Amino acid sequence: AELERLAADLRTAETAVAFTGAGISAPSGVPTFRGDDGVWEAFDEGQFTYDRFQRDPAGFWADRVELHRTMFDAEYEPNAAHDALAELNRDGHLEAILTQNTDGLHAKAATAARGNDSDGDDSSDGRESVEEAAEFSARETILELHGNARRVRCSDCGRREPMEPIVERAEDGELPPTCGCGGTYKPDVVLFGERLPETVLQRARSLARESDVFLAIGSSLVVEPAASLPRTAASNEATVGIVNLESTPVDSVADSCLQEDVTTALPRLQELVELS
């Protein structure tokens, strides 16, 4: 019944926004950060700070390669939950998908939902396509608040490259890996102690303020801005729905809390929205 109410709210919403965290990618095999099997049990968060990247880029990259191999070991694919959101977005029921995830799976699901023909040009690696992918995320309605771990960016000239070849260079002993311009490559993600990109954050905040439905999905909602975006939506009269296996500190301001697996809840929600 809660799902039906949410579906009804989504159907009539003018601006509905989804906000996701690691839990939406867990069924694709990507590890989450917190909890017993979380990445921060095996790795020390303190090794991945912006400060360390600046002080000790070689040590940072040595550890980052290990983290990368743990988190992105396989060719992960979007799951039914990513697909459901991509289809709701494509069909005009979701204004935007805001994500804390850096795995790029929302963009991949969006491409699939749009019939793989985003631009016709699909030259798989090389610089053009990475830049294009970066722009694709910005242009489309997917906002990657923490960046994208499939790319690196030169900290001097800003050039972007796919992550995999750079990780291989680091594994072959190039520590830290550097750009042709001499600058050090940095994963194209927000590190601890680093500010979120201002334009993306502003857009996320204004979407949260404008939304009349705000869905928080697969996030523990304990770090910023995750903790405050749904609160902002709630204090602006939005209907707030939370889909997460465990309870969160934001549950008290939410209108409905579904403690369910994302891969069952979201396809059902989508079906209910599109059915009527």
CB 238 within 8 Å of CB 214: yes
CB count, 10 Å around CB of 219? 28
Tell me: does residue 223 bind ligand OAD (CB under 6 A): yes
DSSP-derived letter for residue 223 is: S
Give the Cα separation of 106 and 211 in Å (integer): 20
Q: Is 82 a catalytic residue?
A: no
- The owner of tokens 């909890």 is 35
Tell me: does residue 104 bind ligand OAD (CB under 6 A): no
Tell me: does residue 262 bind ligand OAD (CB under 6 A): yes
Task: Tell me, rounded to whole angstroms, the distance of Cα 154 from its chain centroid.
Answer: 21
Tell me: does residue 201 bind ligand OAD (CB under 6 A): no
**Any residues with CB less than 8 A from the CB of 158 and at least 6 apart, and which?**
none
Subset of 39-98 contacting ligand OAD (CB under 6 A): none
The distance between the two most distant Cα atoms of the chain, rounded to a whole number of Å, is 58
Nearer to ligand OAD, 38 or 59 (CB): 38
Tell me: does residue 137 bind ligand OAD (CB under 6 A): no
CB 126 within 8 Å of CB 80: no
**Any residues with CB less than 8 A from the CB of 4 and at least 6 apart, and which?**
272
Tell me: does residue 146 bind ligand OAD (CB under 6 A): yes
Selected range binding ligand OAD among 180-188, 198-206, 214-222, 266-274, rule: CB under 6 A = 214-222
Using DSSP, state whether 100 is helix, strand or coil: coil
Tell me: does residue 255 bind ligand OAD (CB under 6 A): no
Tell me: does residue 26 bind ligand OAD (CB under 6 A): yes
Minimum CB distance to ligand OAD, residue 53 (Å)? 13
Nearer to ligand OAD, 93 or 146 (CB): 146
Tell me: does residue 25 bind ligand OAD (CB under 6 A): no
Active-site amino acid positions:
146
Residues that bind ligand OAD (CB under 6 A): 21-23, 26-27, 32-34, 38, 100, 146, 190, 218-220, 223, 226, 244-246, 261-262
